[in-house]
Structure 1
Amino acid sequence: MEIDYVSVFIFACVTTFTPGPNTIRCAIMGMQAGYKRSMPYFLGIATGFFSIMLLCGIFASLLVRVLPEVVQVFSYAGAAYILYLAYRVLHVDYALSGQSPILLGYKDGLLLQLFNPKVLVLTLTLYTTFLSSMNHSVPALFLSALFFTMMSFSAISLWAFSGTTFSHVLASQKAKRVVNSSLALLLVFSAVTLIIV
């Protein structure tokens, strides 16, 4: 299966930049402690994310080599997961209030990623479906893991720098609906592409 870079990029962007526990926590830390003091936590997240990406990429490569028919199964399972994410994005909340001002460190960020089921499912979906054709190349796996880690780090940095701005802009229900609907539609596009390509 040839790689559809547009779908991969859309899927990766929407899943890494949309708010979740990770991005919201980074926004709060950025507001409360500043970007520089939060950096160890962000580096821990990046290290954990890269490790999971690489390990899942290697596992997916072995799985596809031993059971090539698994690609079709994961295509449908991955599309279902992406549609579930689209549904969740429709109802996501950007509120940052009511969060405790706890400063977390490198180990906290690392452990959060290593035991984060969302990252595990997202990565397995990515490598057994969209990127299944690159699974036989170790350099390609390494570079893709590095690329997605940089994308993830950009997302948490963006949230850390401008979390308060996001919460003010998206305080309007109308703005929230437009943003959430647009992001959900992009995910639906990725899911459909995954099945028909």
Structure 2
Amino acid sequence: MTSILPLLLFAAVATVTPGGATTLATASGARFGFVPSIPLMLGIAIGLASLAAVAALGLGGLLLAVPSLQAAVKVLGSAYLLWLASRIARSGPPNAGDGLARPVTLVNGFLLLWLNPKGWAMTVGAAASFALLGGNPNHFAMLLGAAFGVAACASLALWCALGVLLARLLRTPRHWRMLNLAMGALLAASVIPTWR
């Protein structure tokens, strides 16, 4: 069991650090509350867990070996994140009826991770670094997927709860506008490391 601890620590740190998924969870918690944000968080966690399992099976290497496929993921992922960022940034208070009118769905949360180059880099890096933990590829895929899935659930719940807390502090439409602009800008900024 102690040999798994470095993997668990890596997954925890990788998922709790700010990025597109954590920013989206915070914005969703602030705008819609914790319970309505659960499908988004589950979609992201399932997406990350399945991405980690695929990376452990070696398919992540295909993405790294085929530059055109890597470029397509970057373009699609960046476009999706920028679209979400613009929707969040244009939102007013939750009852204003503008911007995001309802929470992001489980499917969209899943797609967010599969199109997120940070998610690919994180899981492919973990697959390469911890490959010796698995006795066989299937066991390693399950281990890596479980580690990232559980870590994502915990970190996204934390970020969403922070959003709920922020919502309690926001009193005026101007406060909401400032939060939504900040969340949109942070989500858009999460695209920058993808293109370095």
- Give the SS at the match of 1:19: coil
Distance 1:116 1:61 in 2: 13
Q: Say whether the 8 Å CA contact 2:27–2:160 is kept in structure 1.
A: yes
Call closer, same or farther: CA 1:118–1:135 in 2, change over 3 Å: farther
Task: Give the structure-1-normalised TM-score.
Answer: 0.57
Distance 1:60 1:108 in 2: 22
| Pairwise CA distance, 1:23 | 0.4
Name the amino acid aligned to 1:13. A
Name the amino acid aligned to 1:111. L
Structure 1 position 128 matched with structure 2 position 128: yes
Call closer, same or farther: CA 1:163–1:21 in 2, change over 3 Å: same
* Partner of residue 79, structure 2: none
Call closer, same or farther: CA 1:156–1:104 in 2, change over 3 Å: same
How much identity, in percent, do the aligned residues show? 25
Q: Which runs of 5+ in 1 are unaligned?
A: 64-96, 169-197
* Partner of residue 115, structure 2: 115
* Partner of residue 7, structure 2: 8
Question: CA deviation digits over 1:70-126, x for unaligned, max 9?
Answer: xxxxxxxxxxxxxxxxxxxxxxxxxxx957452311221011011111111111111
* Partner of residue 49, structure 2: 50
Q: How many residues align?
A: 133
- Give the SS at the match of 2:18: coil
- Give the SS at the match of 1:104: coil
Call closer, same or farther: CA 1:9–1:19 in 2, change over 3 Å: same
Worse-superposed segment, 14-23 or 156-165: 156-165
Q: Say whether the 8 Å CA contact 1:28–1:99 is kept in structure 2.
A: no
Q: Say whether the 8 Å CA contact 1:40–1:105 is kept in structure 2.
A: yes
RMSD: 3.1
Question: CA deviation digits over 1:103-159, x for unaligned, max 9?
Answer: 311221011011111111111111111334426242342133112201111111111
Call closer, same or farther: CA 1:99–1:154 in 2, change over 3 Å: farther
Distance 1:113 1:12 in 2: 15
Task: Give the structure-2-normalised TM-score.
Answer: 0.57
Distance 1:99 1:42 in 2: 22
* Partner of residue 68, structure 2: none
| Pairwise CA distance, 1:16 | 0.7
Q: Which runs of 5+ in 2 are unaligned?
A: 63-87, 92-98, 170-196
Call closer, same or farther: CA 1:128–1:111 in 2, change over 3 Å: same
Q: Say whether the 8 Å CA contact 2:41–2:153 is kept in structure 1.
A: yes
Distance 1:4 1:122 in 2: 19
Call closer, same or farther: CA 1:13–1:110 in 2, change over 3 Å: same
Distance 2:23 2:40 in 1: 13
